[in-house]
Amino acid sequence: MTDPFFAYIDPGAGATLAQLALAGTAGLAAIGKLRLTKMKNRLSRKVDTEAEPRAGAQADDAATTE
């Protein structure tokens, strides 16, 4: 018969595992935010290029040429 194997995790190892979990979560959140911002920028550029010029733009141009 074999002896049971007892594992011991000291407080330092537990703190390291907790830090690893928190760093991983923060890293995933940062990557998600960057990708979401990139997606928003792509979508907003498409909408802006298809939008009509604003009505006040012509009046502003006429005032600066006089």
Would you say the pTM of this structure is higher than 0.75?
A: no
Q: Please give the tally of structural domains in the chain.
A: 1
- Does some domain include residue 21? yes
48-60: pLDDT as tens digits:
555 555 655 555 5
Question: Which domain covers residue 23, as residue numbers?
Answer: 12-49
What pLDDT was estimated at residue 7? 74
Please write down the HEC assignment for all residues of the chain: CCCCCCCCCCHHHHHHHHHHHHHHHHHHHHHHHHHHHHHHHHHHHHHHHHCCCCCHHHHHHHHHHC
- Does some domain include residue 4? no
Question: In angstroms, rounded to a whole number, what is the distance separating the alpha carbons of residues 52 and 58?
Answer: 12
- Does some domain include residue 64? no
The type of residue at 18 is A
2-49: pLDDT as tens digits:
667 777 778 888 889 999 999 999 999 999 999 999 999 988 876 555
What pLDDT was estimated at residue 19? 95
- Does some domain include residue 59? no
